[in-house]
Structure 1
């Protein structure tokens, strides 16, 4: 196989120009926050209003003051959010590191038969 064939089969990281691979891009959008704190559930869900999809390593900073709810309350808020995209190098590192994190979850036993 030729070298050019191998180069074109690599992930998108290799097709980027080096200055672009090191740039961090951010943008501001809006989000909807749903919070519930009662005897049946304790959760907070954030959904981006413009349908932006976050990738590995992306950061999301919700703007505004901290939200405090007493027990038994729930609320829905609309706030601004700043999305900071990971660089191509950060995405590559996270994808590689995630495989090693996954291996930590495997439990292998070589004992014969069933354990009591």
Structure 2
């Protein structure tokens, strides 16, 4: 393996899905409380999950975790800082009387 190359491995996970008038969310909890870093990717395997309004469900699935290599991790950190600065762009206009 090349230095800084990405590492892939499979892990079991739980997918929690909630669909309601107030929210629509899905959370993936990897077994072993694996810490994720900038640029890391998770792909959950299995059939597409379909939930109706008012449903809260949990599914057990397998997932593939791909750890970012140094280049993708660095790029993700840098681009994240620039994306964050977009939130600071605020303008004020004076009231005309």
Tell me if both proteins adopt one fold, taking TM over 0.5 as the criterion. yes
User: Structure 1: how far apart are the matches of 2:79 and 2:49?
Assistant: 33
More helix by share: 1
Deviation string, structure 1 residues 16-38 (Cα, Å, up to 9, x no partner): xxx312x1101100111111112
Secondary structure of the residue that 1:39 maps to in structure 2? coil
TM-score (norm 2): 0.84
Deviation string, structure 1 residues 13-72 (Cα, Å, up to 9, x no partner): xxxxxx312x11011001111111123432111111111111101110001010111222
Q: RCO (CA 8 Å, sep 6+): is it higher in 1 or 2? A: 2
Consecutive unaligned residues of structure 1, counting only runs of 5 or more, are 1-18
Which of residues 84, 87, 93 is equivalent to 2:69?
87
- The aligned counterpart of 1:15 is none
Deviation string, structure 1 residues 55-104 (Cα, Å, up to 9, x no partner): 10111000101011122222111110000111111111111222211221
Consecutive unaligned residues of structure 2, counting only runs of 5 or more, are none
Task: State the Cα RMSD in Å.
Answer: 1.9
